[in-house]
Amino acid sequence: MKFGRGSSDMTENESKHMNPGPVEEGAKVASGVVDALKAQPFALSMVVINAALVGLLFFIGWRTSETRQREVDQFYQSQKETQELLAKCIMIAPEELLHLQPKGPPQ
């Protein structure tokens, strides 16, 4: 069986051996990164600190969102109670509603 553009007589098994899969390539990259970080511990500490800061920012955003939602709920509850109290204070008879029609434009 022939693979590729040329007229090479490469078998399927040889082709798999020459072209490693994504897992092998990922392992090579990961081992290269680990070796580089071993050589430079400062870079490793910066990666750890950056990951911690991203986690901290996520946590702060999450807590701020919860606090804001609680404040909005309290505000709406307060407004609802105020509206209910005002609705009980002002009594309008149905015949008076007819006199509350908007007037025309000022002349």
* Domain match, 45 and 84 both: yes
pLDDT by residue (tens digit) across 24-38? 888 898 898 888 888
The two tokens of residue 12 are 């399927």
Q: What is the per-residue pLDDT across 72-106, written as a single tens digit (0 to 9) for each?
A: 999 999 999 888 888 777 666 666 666 655 666 66
83 and 58 in a common domain: yes
Q: Is the pTM of this model over 0.85?
A: no
Q: How many domains does the chain have?
A: 2
Residues 48, 32 share a domain: no
Q: How far apart are CA 52 and CA 46, in angstroms?
A: 10
Say yes or no: 18 and 55 in one domain: no
DSSP line for 39-65: H-HHHHHHHHHHHHHHHHHHHHHHHHH
Residue 97 lies in a domain: no
Host domain of residue 67: 41-89
